[in-house]
Amino acid sequence: MPTLLTADIEQDNDRRSSARVSYGAVLGVIEHNGTLPATSELRPVKALDLSHTGVSFSTTRWPSSDWLLIMLGTSQKPRYASARVVGCQSKSTDDDTRRFEVHCEFEQWLTPMST
């Protein structure tokens, strides 16, 4: 069962409106241009936490757009959402890999068209 994250060090600065849970799954992410891409076009990233209103993930690239398309679930049963980047922080790692923590707010859930 996911762990509810409720004890932030800086609770007064936390503006999130929903409870979030630790979520270590791999997501697919791509800059959003208004279309649903092929699953192979999505860049895999490691999710950090998930809530009803958004998600945060770790990546090696700074987002090149304020809007992302995020795929949750599996390639056989995907769920897509357009999301707005609301924050990005550079994080240090033990192996000196450059990583970024990206925080996104879901804007709209998208459904693939049936063929």
In a domain, 88, yes or no: yes
Contact 71, 107 (CB under 8 A): no
Q: Decide if pLDDT at 115 tops 50.
A: no
**pLDDT digits over 58-98, tens only?**
999 999 999 999 999 887 888 999 999 999 999 887 887 88
In a domain, 1, yes or no: no
In a domain, 10, yes or no: no
Pairwise CA distance, residues 102 & 87, whole Å: 6
Contact 48, 59 (CB under 8 A): no
In 3D, which of 53, 44, 37 has the Cα closest to residue 86?
Answer: 53
In 3D, which of 5, 105, 102, 7 has the Cα closest to residue 61?
Answer: 102
Residue 22 corresponds to which tokens in the numbers above?
């630790």
In a domain, 76, yes or no: yes
| Count of the separate structural domains present in the chain | 1
Pairwise CA distance, residues 48 & 50, whole Å: 7
Which CATH number fits the domain that encloses residue 88?
2.40.10.220
Contact 71, 42 (CB under 8 A): yes
Mean pLDDT of 2-12: 39
